[in-house]
Structure 1
Amino acid sequence: MTVNSNIMKAEEGCKMKRKLLVLIVVLTMIMALTGCSDDIGGVSTHTNKGLDTSLKRSTDMVVDTNGTLNIQRLARTETTKMGASGTWTIFVYMCGSDLESEEGLATMDLQEMLDASKSDKLKFIVQTGGSNAWDNDLVNDSRMQRFVIQNQEIEEVDDTSLSNMGSAETLADFLVWGVENYPAEKMGLVFWNHGGGSITGVCFDEQNDSDSLSLIEIENALTSVCPNMTDSFEFIGFDACLMGTLETANVIAPHARYMYSSEELEPGYGWDYKAIANYIGANPTASGADLGVVVVDSFYDACVAIDSGDEVTLSCIDLSKIDALVYAFNDVAETMYHSTDNTAILSGMVKGITSAENYGGNNKSEGYTNMVDLGSILKNVSVNVAGTDQVLSALKDCVTYMKNGTNKSDSNGLAIYYPLSIQGSEELSIFKDVCVSPYYMSFVDKMVYASDTNGTFDNYSDVDWLGADSIYWNDSYVAVAGADYWSNLDDSATADYNFSEEETAISFSVPPALNAEGMYGFTIAPDTLNYVDAVYCDVFVDSGDGETLIELGLDDNITSDWSTGSFEDNFTGYWVALPDGQPLASYIVEQGDNYNIYTSPIMLNDVETNLRIRLDYVSEEEYTIKIIGAWDGIDEETGQSAKEITKLKKGDIITPMYYSYNLSNDEEGMYIGDEYVFDNDPVLYEELLAEGDYYYSFQIDDIFGSSLYTDFEIFSLDADGGIYFYEE
């Protein structure tokens, strides 16, 4: 039975009933959501059912005068099942967004729920909204609707005025209504939409300027419904990208037994709801851990079936183990924080973090999520930091089941925020309220401070995060911590090119110049070599006006000697190009042991996106280059992540795009190349660039998040591939 066939039956008056359910949400709940009430949830018509309501948030991270972390969580003194034995209700908060209006993916998942085997043990309770259009005749994009799906039937049970799906009040209203009317022995909650990670959250409503639910808003809504429940949710899941983070798990830990979530992107098809429903129907007494295996396996199998399995991650997290993980991590974070004054150890730690598995792009072309795998970080910093084994063990205990693709082999189940590229004070201000460790917050804050002081920690104070007057995890604190140096980030956020050595922690013993062999290179001063995180080459071509340069991208194809700090160009005049010879502006996404993944800004069928490219090394001399697909990246304004890498089809039109830089006024722009029609062959080659003059610079990244560009050297490329540098 299809969604549309159900709609037709409704129009004929068969099996379709509309119930107008009136729910009075009292003022105290709204006050709690806005921080005006001291009671958790501010619940109204229900008793508190054994809850300790002394906390303002359902989790409180308290730092005592010795800097010791104490986790206090909302908890029940006793639990009582809310429904008959073996019954399940899964609440689906379905914010359709462009996933539905452009691709009909929400409708597909509604159909999967309908296609499941009949069972009296399971109900899906779905709230729809947040989309400009729906790909079926049942859901109205101008109304907020609620549906019950059971036994291959869909019944609309509520229809109200449209509300913002990115609002805590909307979520709380749905949950209070849902647990009141459809309680069960085991209940689950699914957030269906785009995700952006710990900073930007989930459920971006395209009818409300892509407003999303932050982690704090999710916590507020869950806290509001908690007194209406005598038991926790069996699971809370995120059918969305990038929400598999420690910050997310820590926020929802008081409210559920298990969390299902992905560290990386989720292909648009998302979870297999038919497989989930069929399993529950056949195994109604299953636990959240048992169901987690089915959610993970069916999702992974579906991704493999559409050739998207290599990038997949999905995990089932035991939330009862989160406290042990957070305490262990805080101990390691304390060591990290106190090691910042030792530049050698600090350098090793930061390089371990920046080289760890990360998610969602984190590059100039696609944007930044700053989500990094926690386990990968711990493994990489273990040489310099004691205690990582205990954290890794605690992490392993949390992850009851997981699967990841071959390109995500160092994924360990939960990511954590680290500012690979600091996006401004607002991002850090959000992080301070969800960071799981005061010492980790101090570590991040201290690194931000050093980015503003060119690598020095002089006059840094940690009083905001540690000690008797700590504002860590403190709702009463409104102003931005570290106001001076955090706000300076906003002033420099758009400055991609920094040619001033005075504005970084790096200095040279041999300044950038041509050597006697005609090679362009430099040597880092020994006392600042530890401050260097990475070195890349950056190649530009003159647009023809003598002052505007078109960037061809960043690459790691340079000659490096980290023991001496000497770096030299290894440019051959060849660049990755489309089959018609147009070079692709390429930026590194990921560096593996035997592969690199690049991204290139393009228009695909006249829509701006990014082309993902994979280079595999067969040997030192042999490699292959193939197109993976197109990915829209991270929305600069909202932080919303596109949900999948789209496979190209024969006949697709690829138009290369290039960032530009004006030498006269430092303005940046964008150049557009020529259209190329994709012939369904994903193989690319490095081609000799056109004869002419090119500008070559090194980008030197320091461990504090700043980048230094060396002065340009101009080289001439002749028709035979000969390269001649000359100074101007």
Structure 2
Amino acid sequence: MSSKIRVIVSLALVIICGFTFNSSLSAANKEAEYTLIVYLNGCDLENGIDSDRINKKTNPKGLKAGATNDVLNELRESSFDDRKLNVIVITGGTNEWLQKEPAISTTQCQAWRIYGPDKNKFMEKVKETPPSMYMMDKKTLSDYISWAIDKYPAKKYALFLWGHGGGPIGGFGVDQLNKDKSISISDMQEALKKALKGKQFDLIAFIACLMGNFETAYKLKDCGKYMVASEELEFDDCFEGIIKGLSERPNISGKDLGKLFIDAHFNKVQKWLNKKERENLYTFSVIDLAKISDVKNKWDNLIQKLEERMKSKNKSTVRDTYRFLAIARGYSESYNEYTRSGSGLTDLYEFSNFISLLCNINTDELQRAIKDCVIYNKVCEYRSASHGLSVFFVDRKLEYNLGTDSDLIKYEPQAPSKLYSNFISRYYNTLFVQNPSKLIGEISFIKVPIKNQNPKSYPPVYFVDIDPGSSGDFLLVNQIFFVIGKLEVSGSNKVFKTLCIDKDVNNDLSKLSIKFTGNQYCIGGKPIAIYWDGNVERWKNPKYIPIGSFAVKHKGKMKFLVVTETKPNVVKIIDTFDGDYSPSGKVIMPNGFDVGNPDNLAEIKKDPTITILYKVDGNYVDGPEVKLKISKLEDGVEYLEISKSSLEDGEYCGAFYIEDVIGRGTWSFQKTFNIKSSKEIKTSEAQGSNVPMTVNQSL
């Protein structure tokens, strides 16, 4: 080849290569409609509590797969144009990923680009960082978000934070590689602001529990235009619906994307609800972050008015303020309550409404601000009093629901204002650490006998007449139960064995009486002690669906079965978990427990024989062995059901247990009675048939 020809060919190659390179560079930098960033914290949701979860659609072979694997499989099955939509998944925080191909690192964070089913490759690793950069460190979050925004430019951006949520005190995520550390919302705020450099996400969505709170929304107000989150425990996700919606409407606003997510997610959940496969605590809302400052200002105004009353020189004003605040908090919607461990969170709108009613302070402006800020809200019947935004306000001693007293110290940097953090600290230390009885009074039934309204009727009806002058402030009542058991000899003492707990007492507090009727939840004629959630205000709502749990032994292992009342006098078992009890006697469910997962009941359905466990002097003892009833719906779905029936003949002992709005419990006198037959009830003539309840135990 002549030198002239070689020069021409070389120039041609340079031109061709140059055009090819520039074209490729242009395509890579071309602005997409949306960049979707999923911060996927595997934690024990991947390899622990949800490791046996199987989505039959995305995992037809039924291979062992965790919850994060469901996310990746939903993305795998979603068709989209990756020129218009960038989907970036950042993985980390777990010591075992169940997905094998492609392999995800268990020692370092990685970023993946998702391509969908129309490409030769489903996901491609595009970044990884040293093992020293842990997923829940603010620097890691900031660096990955900054990198994704720069690398994948778009007209709009959405951030989905997937993992455990613990509200304003617990923060977001759990890093198994770094002592189960979470990232606080104040650190998250700092990380996102640094990464965004003055920009905003069009949507920030938490697929995590308890993150639909005022504190989180206020901290992230400069980081996003809209926020989607749940006030309650959250479960599952709906990335398939999100991707489909973005493909159909690529220029959708952040507000409408939030609504789209909630609708798609709710429809997915509704299919389970319609099949009665599970019951769920569903709350999700879209929050306009541009309007959260108005909520904060109105909330601070209310706090200032309350603080002025709490500092009043008039002692009765001070007492009334603390008393009515405690009552308002006790009556308001609370979250994570069915776990009986609590979160300290209550619905901001309902709480302010009770403050208005009880403290005679107008909260109309605050409630209007909340309605303007929460632009979309979907809830289940169980959470009908949820309005889309919760707030932290203590309702009992912190060691009973949040772990330790240091949580108030942890709350300070997460609070929406210094004014509020100081207020809540003063409120807690004054009411809970000092002597609450001197400040707000108490309920005492110790001198009130139980009377039998009609000894020969069946079922029996008992009532307690309350003298407000001697028994204290009845408005402080939060929960009322009639506890039925048997007195058993233990050495030189008699101990009380709890057999069943009846919440269906008359809770019309204005009549100052409590009534009880005798049918109880039994399995094979043997009573079970269901520990119920909720309070007297909730139980007045006909739409309220109570959830409770009772202890059993299955194949030698202690379990708690979770139940819900699906119709009068019938409960359905919707889940099971391994757990323990807190010092207050409340059930502690596993962190991130997904209530209503039918897969958890598979082993019990295979072998429905259980041993009922009864509580005696604070400890569990074996009761009778029984067999659960398995019923079937029209479509063949199996479920476990328990009905009320009359107690077996014999002598029983009953007492009313009342818990007040700040978690203090008290017992009435106990009453012994004989059930002679299903048609005749006679009170026992034995000595001590109406004596004080001496057993030192709480529910």
Shift of 1:506: 1.7
Matching residue of 1:107: 69
Instruction: Name the CA shift for 1:562/1:283 in 2 (closer, same or farther; >3 Å).
Output: closer
Once residues 170 and 690 of structure 2 are traced to their aligned partners in structure 1, the CA distance between those partners, rounded to angstroms, is 46
**What secondary structure, in the 3-state scheme, does the structure 2 residue paired with 1:284 have?**
coil
The question of whether the paired residues in 1 share the 8 Å contact of 2:36 and 2:158 is answered with yes
**What secondary structure, in the 3-state scheme, does the structure 1 residue paired with 2:297 have?**
helix
Match of 1:215 among 160, 176, 185: 185
TM-score with structure 1 setting the length: 0.71
Shift of 1:688: 2.4
* 1:643 counterpart = 2:594: yes
- List aligned pairs for 1:271-290, cutoff 5 A: 272-290=238-256
**What secondary structure, in the 3-state scheme, does the structure 1 residue paired with 2:220 have?**
helix
Matching residue of 2:12: none
**What secondary structure, in the 3-state scheme, does the structure 2 residue paired with 1:660 have?**
strand
The question of whether the paired residues in 1 share the 8 Å contact of 2:520 and 2:527 is answered with no
**What secondary structure, in the 3-state scheme, does the structure 2 residue paired with 1:382 have?**
helix
Once residues 214 and 714 of structure 1 are traced to their aligned partners in structure 2, the CA distance between those partners, rounded to angstroms, is 53
Shift of 1:336: 3.5
Matching residue of 1:432: 412
Match of 2:258 among 292, 297, 317: 292
Match of 1:191 among 153, 161, 179: 161
Once residues 524 and 531 of structure 1 are traced to their aligned partners in structure 2, the CA distance between those partners, rounded to angstroms, is 13
The count of aligned residue pairs is 583
Shift of 1:724: 2.6
**What secondary structure, in the 3-state scheme, does the structure 1 residue paired with 2:337 have?**
coil
Instruction: Name the CA shift for 1:712/1:521 in 2 (closer, same or farther; >3 Å).
Output: same
Once residues 638 and 560 of structure 1 are traced to their aligned partners in structure 2, the CA distance between those partners, rounded to angstroms, is 28
Instruction: Name the CA shift for 1:214/1:672 in 2 (closer, same or farther; >3 Å).
Output: farther
The question of whether the paired residues in 2 share the 8 Å contact of 1:580 and 1:676 is answered with no
**What secondary structure, in the 3-state scheme, does the structure 1 residue paired with 2:565 have?**
strand
- List aligned pairs for 1:142-541, cutoff 5 A: 142-144=106-108, 145-152=110-117, 153-160=122-129, 162=131, 164-206=134-176, 208=178, 210-226=180-196, 229-267=197-235, 269-270=236-237, 272-307=238-273, 311-339=281-309, 341-342=316-317, 347-362=323-338, 366-384=340-358, 385-424=360-399, 425-437=405-417, 440-441=420-421, 442=423, 445-455=426-436, 505-506=441-442, 511-515=447-451, 521=464, 523-526=466-469, 528-529=472-473, 532-541=476-485
* 1:669 counterpart = 2:616: no
Q: Residues 86-134 of structure 1, C-alpha deviation per residue, up to 9 Å, x if partnerless? A: 5322221111233322122211211222222231122222122233433
The question of whether the paired residues in 2 share the 8 Å contact of 1:333 and 1:443 is answered with no
Shift of 1:632: 4.6
Once residues 393 and 546 of structure 2 are traced to their aligned partners in structure 1, the CA distance between those partners, rounded to angstroms, is 21
- List aligned pairs for 1:554-573, cutoff 5 A: 554-559=501-506, 562-563=509-510, 566-568=512-514, 570-573=515-518
Shift of 1:167: 3.7
**What secondary structure, in the 3-state scheme, does the structure 1 residue paired with 2:306 have?**
helix
* 1:140 counterpart = 2:104: yes
**What secondary structure, in the 3-state scheme, does the structure 2 residue paired with 1:513 have?**
coil
Q: Residues 65-93 of structure 1, C-alpha deviation per residue, up to 9 Å, x if partnerless? A: xxxxxxxxxxxxxxxxx986553222211
- Higher alpha-carbon deviation: 128-137 or 507-516: 507-516
Instruction: Name the CA shift for 1:638/1:203 in 2 (closer, same or farther; >3 Å).
Output: farther
Matching residue of 1:468: none
Once residues 578 and 355 of structure 1 are traced to their aligned partners in structure 2, the CA distance between those partners, rounded to angstroms, is 32
Structure 1 unmatched runs, 5+: 1-81, 459-503, 617-622, 663-667
Matching residue of 1:619: none
Q: Structure 2: which amino acid aligns with 1:218?
A: M
Instruction: Name the CA shift for 1:112/1:678 in 2 (closer, same or farther; >3 Å).
Output: same
Q: Structure 2: which amino acid aligns with 1:536?
A: I
- Higher alpha-carbon deviation: 513-522 or 85-94: 513-522
Shift of 1:255: 1.2
Shift of 1:290: 1.8
Q: Structure 2: which amino acid aligns with 1:611?
A: V
Once residues 578 and 305 of structure 2 are traced to their aligned partners in structure 1, the CA distance between those partners, rounded to angstroms, is 35
Once residues 335 and 124 of structure 1 are traced to their aligned partners in structure 2, the CA distance between those partners, rounded to angstroms, is 48
- List aligned pairs for 1:696-711, cutoff 5 A: 696-710=654-668
Shift of 1:567: 3.8
More helix per residue: 2
Once residues 400 and 196 of structure 1 are traced to their aligned partners in structure 2, the CA distance between those partners, rounded to angstroms, is 23
Once residues 198 and 456 of structure 1 are traced to their aligned partners in structure 2, the CA distance between those partners, rounded to angstroms, is 30
Once residues 579 and 390 of structure 2 are traced to their aligned partners in structure 1, the CA distance between those partners, rounded to angstroms, is 17
Shift of 1:682: 4.3
Shift of 1:150: 2.9
**What secondary structure, in the 3-state scheme, does the structure 2 residue paired with 1:143 have?**
coil
Once residues 628 and 573 of structure 2 are traced to their aligned partners in structure 1, the CA distance between those partners, rounded to angstroms, is 16
Q: Residues 319-346 of structure 1, C-alpha deviation per residue, up to 9 Å, x if partnerless? A: 1111001111121233334455545565
Instruction: Name the CA shift for 1:405/1:573 in 2 (closer, same or farther; >3 Å).
Output: closer
Q: Residues 649-674 of structure 1, C-alpha deviation per residue, up to 9 Å, x if partnerless? A: 54364746656342xxxxx2233553
**What secondary structure, in the 3-state scheme, does the structure 2 residue paired with 1:359 have?**
coil
The question of whether the paired residues in 1 share the 8 Å contact of 2:92 and 2:105 is answered with yes
Matching residue of 1:485: none
The question of whether the paired residues in 1 share the 8 Å contact of 2:160 and 2:204 is answered with yes
Q: Structure 2: which amino acid aligns with 1:689?
A: L
Q: Structure 2: which amino acid aligns with 1:129?
A: G
The question of whether the paired residues in 2 share the 8 Å contact of 1:90 and 1:188 is answered with yes
Shift of 1:379: 2.9
**What secondary structure, in the 3-state scheme, does the structure 2 residue paired with 1:401 have?**
strand
The question of whether the paired residues in 2 share the 8 Å contact of 1:602 and 1:654 is answered with no
Shift of 1:259: 0.7
- Higher alpha-carbon deviation: 345-354 or 679-688: 345-354
The question of whether the paired residues in 1 share the 8 Å contact of 2:445 and 2:667 is answered with no
Once residues 404 and 350 of structure 1 are traced to their aligned partners in structure 2, the CA distance between those partners, rounded to angstroms, is 26
TM-score with structure 2 setting the length: 0.74
Structure 2 unmatched runs, 5+: 1-27, 54-65, 311-315, 400-404, 456-461, 583-587, 631-637, 692-699
Once residues 435 and 654 of structure 1 are traced to their aligned partners in structure 2, the CA distance between those partners, rounded to angstroms, is 49
Q: Give identity over the alignment, percent.
A: 22
**What secondary structure, in the 3-state scheme, does the structure 1 residue paired with 2:39 have?**
strand
Shift of 1:708: 2.7
RMSD of aligned alpha carbons: 3.5
Q: Structure 2: which amino acid aligns with 1:265?
A: L
* 1:625 counterpart = 2:570: yes
Rg: which structure is higher?
2
Once residues 304 and 500 of structure 2 are traced to their aligned partners in structure 1, the CA distance between those partners, rounded to angstroms, is 38
Shift of 1:554: 4.7
Once residues 505 and 445 of structure 1 are traced to their aligned partners in structure 2, the CA distance between those partners, rounded to angstroms, is 19
**What secondary structure, in the 3-state scheme, does the structure 2 residue paired with 1:410 have?**
coil
The question of whether the paired residues in 2 share the 8 Å contact of 1:448 and 1:704 is answered with no
The question of whether the paired residues in 2 share the 8 Å contact of 1:191 and 1:239 is answered with yes
Once residues 611 and 340 of structure 2 are traced to their aligned partners in structure 1, the CA distance between those partners, rounded to angstroms, is 15
